[in-house]
Amino acid sequence: MSNNTWGNYKGEIKGVRIEALHDDPTAKVPPYHPPAEKEFISAMQSIAIRFGKLADKDENGIWVGYESRAKNENYAIGVRCENCAHFESANVCKIIKAKIEPGGYCRLAAIPSELVNKNKKK
């Protein structure tokens, strides 16, 4: 059985380039994504490429659970779209259809642990 997983895959899927995620935890270019997180990021982005971006109550069956900045109770500790691997721009996510806010969040967030500080007060 091969140890190769989607998280290790770097290349083309149906003509779409998947972003390479670096493997070196000592690299100076943050953030570092551990292997399981890379797998999750790649899997979610592959699903969005194959089936279209996700939305609550769509036919894909994946509940996104997006919340705006105003409803984000975890903003202070770093749980926000702008820290997520799926964040594309101020209003665009790579995997969900909803217009997003940098300070919003969803349940599919892929945020590196170095960007989340559970000790900060909410």
Grouping H, G, I as helix, E, B as strand and the rest as coil, residue 47 is helix
Write down the pTM of the prediction. 0.73
Quick: pLDDT tens for 71-103: 999 999 999 999 999 999 999 999 999 999 999
- DSSP codes, 69-94: GGG-TTGGGT-SGGGSTTEEETTEES
d(CA 42, CA 35): 11
pLDDT winner (highest mean) among 7-11, 14-18, 76-80: 76-80
Whose structure tokens read 């979610």? 44
Residues facing 85 on adjacent strands? none
Q: What residues does each domain of the chain span? A: 6-115
Which residues lie below 8 Å from residue 99, measured CB to CB, with a gap of 6+? Answer: 91, 92
pLDDT of residue 71: 97
